[in-house]
Amino acid sequence: MNVLPYIFVLLAAMLWGTVGTTQTFLQEGVSPFAVAGVRSGIGGGLLLLTVIFMRKINLRDWSWKWTILAALAIALFQCLFFTSVRFTGVAVGTVVTIGSSPVFAGVIEWLIWKVRPTRVWGIATLLAIVGCVLLFVNRGGAVVDPVGVLLALCAGIMFALYTNVSKQLMAKEETLPAVAMTFSLCALFLLPLAARGGFGWVAEPQNLWPMLFMGVVATSVAYLLFLASLKKISSSAAVTLSLAEPLTAALLGVFLIGEYLSATSWVGVALLLGGIIVLTFGSRRAT
């Protein structure tokens, strides 16, 4: 079995993990919905112009059903996650959303697509989820609000659904135009929320460069890697590997921003890494 798709998903998750740190460079008061909308617009729009120029897209025969479902799922994921954080804080919102999404991905894959999760996936997912909980267990802002937890669970479902739907899309379309269409539509869906405070803030030098990084690198490049890998590995495995996102965010916080991680959090880091290693190399051995 080729281990390269697993590595590509890990790279994608690591790029997603840079978003939190990058947002700290934005001026205060910028709405997270505006950031999500502009990020999707930059990432999707750039790729859309590229595929139009390369004539790699045929709108008449395009797989609109799967594209619209994928765009709706990823747009709802961002809205639900950001709203959950407002209710229950970053720590709990992140743990519930990111920790629940691999479980939901496995359930969706099993119930809808009739693909049973493997034992290796189960062990790796358990290690990664426990690691994610330990990583954030003593972080600030841990307020367990029932509404926030419910919204975070819904966000986890949406990311799992996005991954499963995107796998169906990748069976019919090429990776580059698929990412371009999905995130261009996602930006349109987020436009009403993103436009509330206007877009003048994007032109400020302090905001422009971080947004370009998030749009081009953490969206265009990251999702190209992620969706290209979905052709070779299961949706449930891809979502479990995406737990490298909070791991990356935590380590960047330590080494770039000077945040503190307790001994418990470092145990969580080790378990997360262990889950990723088990899934990457255990799946190869099982095959």
pLDDT digits (tens, 9 = 90+) for 49-92: 999 998 888 888 999 999 999 999 999 999 999 999 888 887 78
Residues 6+ apart with CB under 8 A from 196: 31, 33, 34
pLDDT at 1 over 60: no
Q: Is the pTM of this model over 0.95?
A: no
**What are the counts of helices (DSSP H) followed by strands (DSSP E) for the chain?**
12, 0
Structurally, how many domains does the chain consist of?
1
pLDDT at 25 over 60: yes
pLDDT at 236 over 80: yes
What pLDDT, on a 0 to 100 scale, did the predictor assign at position 73?
98
Q: Give the mean model confidence (pLDDT) for residues 155-183.
A: 96
Owning domain of residue 92: 4-286
Residue 204 and residue 27: Cα distance in Å, rounded? 9
> How many Cβ atoms sit within 10 Å of the Cβ of residue 251?
17
The backbone region for 114, taken as left when phi is positive above 0, alpha when psi lies in -120 to 50, beta otherwise, is left
Token pair belonging to 257: 């921003």
pLDDT at 141 over 60: no
What pLDDT, on a 0 to 100 scale, did the predictor assign at position 255?
86
Structure confidence by residue, pLDDT tens digits, 180-201: 999 999 999 999 999 987 899 9
Instruction: Work out the widest C-alpha separation in the chain, in whole angstroms.
Output: 56
- Mean of pLDDT over the chain: 91
Tell me the angle at which helices 119-136 and 263-286 cross, rounded to the nearest 10 degrees: 170
Residue 249 and residue 152: Cα distance in Å, rounded? 18
Structure confidence by residue, pLDDT tens digits, 108-131: 999 998 888 899 999 999 999 999
Token pair belonging to 113: 């697509």
The backbone region for 141, taken as left when phi is positive above 0, alpha when psi lies in -120 to 50, beta otherwise, is left
What pLDDT, on a 0 to 100 scale, did the predictor assign at position 287?
47
